[in-house]
Amino acid sequence: MGKSITAANLAIYYAKKGLRIALLDIDPLSDISTIMDLPESEIFIKSSGPENYQDKLADYVINLFNNLDLVFPEPKLKGRADLELLKKIFGQFSSEFDSNYDLLILDMPAGSNYEENLAFLPFIHTLILVTNPEPTAHASAGAYIKKVLARQPERIINIWHNRYSRETSLDFNPRDVVGNYNKNVIAEEKLNVESSVKVRDFAFIPEDPSMNLLRGNPNISANILYNLLKTFEALQEERLHSEPLTMSLSPKTAELVKYYISRNKKIENMDTYIQELGSYLKNIAVIADEGSLSADTEIAEVFSHEQSKNLKAYIERVKKDLLRQSIIKVISLVEEKKQQVESSNRISLAGTPAFSDKILDREISRLLIEISRLPSLNPTLKNLGSVLLFYFALYKLFQSETVVTLISTFIPQRENNRGTKIRDRKRQIRILIEKDRRYQQQYYRLIKILYSVINKQLATITRAFQLQNLIFRNKKNELVSKAYLTLLTNFIHGTIYGGLSIIIGFDYRPASIAFRRGAEKLLKLLSAGPATGME
């Protein structure tokens, strides 16, 4: 999810809230029209007339959805100077923008050339800088920050961390844009402390497969495997939390220790592992409650002798945990299977190599049995086992082409300019945003049919492997139908709309929750003016 996708999702989010939104496509290389799946005939019709025809704002506008217009939709500026475009927005058309819209969202060009970007700064109320957790992205972001602050020293730059993950390496902290930039430039080019305080973390949006525009057609197989992986990772983390970490660390540092172990599953040489864990903590610069580690802190100083001793004992217990070993084994198999499915670019699991499926079936079944027979099954582990059982039933169910067809008919098609049938993403986005009543009725019928089928699949697997204690039940030992209906609805919704690059409407996903928080936070900053920038 890049800056254009962020801008598009913010525009949709605010339009759904009832605000009148103009999404201005200022970037010559922008793909807003691709994100919204606009046909070329619709994009270029606005620029087909004589030069003297385009003298009204309406000549540059395409209505996308209720309350949302795309302004300057062409993928390139067709020779228009950027400064001329600026004059149109904040000069010639300013009164129309003021009367027609509550909020302007500008998808700005990447980079920091004056004509393409910096010239717009005086007109921008709130600047959002979108960046990815990569060294090159942070280097570019730092260079842009430096140029912005050179022109406007008091400007606050809000960092929108895209595809965010807490994972870090010895020389890259995904949270520290300024620090990562400063590491790679000469002393004179570094951002100083005064500049750094103007740069503020604003939002952290985790990666989500539904946001990947390159995924193309929805992939039921990949979505099931994605959910299986998430469940296995949660199971592994639960095993780490169930093992007591008896050492004097702050709660935050203890969480980071467990997070590191959960992401670095292979434990061979204990001393090396402890040293690398210390380096990880040093790089994040969080240790205990006293404050941050200084840059010259030795790795040996990260943990005291007693802490190292206790930490080694904890990691040894984790390493010997037989259930965790089983979980890690299955994670490896699912990752391999997911890579195979995604590379095949098919919508279903049917037809994939039987050997791989049989191995995966066997190992997941064994893990479910192992969980169900634990002498002490705590509520969290039981619930995760129940979720795993559900997704395993889905995995088995969607190996049937008949069931896959039920879902594939809900993915609208259209012909492109070559007469080839392709996914009609624009129609899907409209359905998602504007709530087509007829479509919703058909969707509910689909859920009803699949709910009946998945219940039978669950019952079959439960009987075959004696997993009755992994079924969701209430205190009266009654089946909790709502839990399964929610899981199924969320899965189908995510599958049908996957790859749209639209996160609005996926309320249950972590990325959607984080995005909504960021959007609401941004809305609070906009009370003093009508415009925001997206760089």
pLDDT digits (tens, 9 = 90+) for 451-488: 999 999 999 999 999 999 999 998 888 889 999 999 99
Burial class (CB in 10 A: 0-12, 13-18, 19+), 26: buried
- Cβ(183)–Cβ(171) below 8 Å: yes
Question: Higher-confidence residue: 121 or 248?
Answer: 121
Q: Is the pLDDT of residue 297 over 50?
A: no
pLDDT at position 48: 45
3-state secondary structure 465-516: HCCHHHCCECCCCCECHHHHHHHHHHHHHHHHCCCCCCCCCCCCCHHHHHHH
The percentage of residues in the chain with a pLDDT greater than 70, rounded to a whole number, is: 83
pLDDT at position 50: 41
Burial class (CB in 10 A: 0-12, 13-18, 19+), 103: buried
- H/E stretch holding 207 reads none
**CB-based contacts of 455: which residues, under 8 Å, 6+ apart?**
484
pLDDT at position 292: 44
Q: Is the pLDDT of residue 233 over 70?
A: yes
In which band, very low, low, confident or very high, does the pLDDT at 294 lie, cut at 50, 70 and 90? very low
pLDDT at position 302: 67
Q: What angle do CA 383, 388, 394 make, to 5 degrees?
A: 130
**CB-based contacts of 435: which residues, under 8 Å, 6+ apart?**
none
Q: Is the pLDDT of residue 190 over 90?
A: yes
- H/E stretch holding 131 reads strand 126-131
Query: If we measure between CA atoms, which residue out of 268, 289, 272, 290 comes closest to residue 280?
Result: 272
- Cβ(222)–Cβ(209) below 8 Å: yes
Q: Which two tokens stand for residue 360?
A: 């995966």
pLDDT at position 79: 46
Burial class (CB in 10 A: 0-12, 13-18, 19+), 306: exposed
Q: Is the pLDDT of residue 248 over 80?
A: no
Question: Once rounded to an integer, what is the mean pLDDT over residues 402-419?
Answer: 84
Minimum mean pLDDT among 43-52, 83-92, 432-441, 501-510: which range?
43-52
- H/E stretch holding 169 reads none
What span, in angstroms and rounded, lies between the C-alpha atoms of 356 and 333? Answer: 9
Question: Once rounded to an integer, what is the mean pLDDT over residues 297-303?
Answer: 55
Fold adopted by 3-211+519-534: Rossmann fold (3.40.50)
Question: Once rounded to an integer, what is the mean pLDDT over residues 181-201?
Answer: 91
Question: Once rounded to an integer, what is the mean pLDDT over residues 373-387?
Answer: 92
What span, in angstroms and rounded, lies between the C-alpha atoms of 484 and 86? Answer: 53
What span, in angstroms and rounded, lies between the C-alpha atoms of 157 and 177? Answer: 12
Mean model confidence pLDDT for the chain: 83
What span, in angstroms and rounded, lies between the C-alpha atoms of 168 and 147? Answer: 27
What span, in angstroms and rounded, lies between the C-alpha atoms of 77 and 24? Answer: 12
Question: Once rounded to an integer, what is the mean pLDDT over residues 267-273?
Answer: 88
The percentage of residues in the chain with a pLDDT greater than 90, rounded to a whole number, is: 38
What span, in angstroms and rounded, lies between the C-alpha atoms of 105 and 116? Answer: 16
In which band, very low, low, confident or very high, does the pLDDT at 49 lie, cut at 50, 70 and 90? very low
Q: Is the pLDDT of residue 201 over 70?
A: yes
Residue corresponding to tokens 């989010």? 13
Minimum mean pLDDT among 28-42, 261-275, 344-358, 463-477: which range?
344-358
Distances 41 to 46, 79, 426 between C-alpha atoms, Å:
9, 19, 14
Question: Once rounded to an integer, what is the mean pLDDT over residues 253-263?
Answer: 86
Question: Once rounded to an integer, what is the mean pLDDT over residues 395-424?
Answer: 86
Q: Is the pLDDT of residue 389 over 90?
A: yes
Task: Read off the pLDDT of residues 485-505 as tens digits, 9 standing for 90 and up.
Answer: 999 988 988 888 878 888 876
Task: Read off the pLDDT of residues 141-181 as tens digits, 9 standing for 90 and up.
Answer: 999 999 999 999 999 999 999 989 876 665 688 889 999 99
Minimum mean pLDDT among 72-76, 350-354, 524-528: which range?
350-354
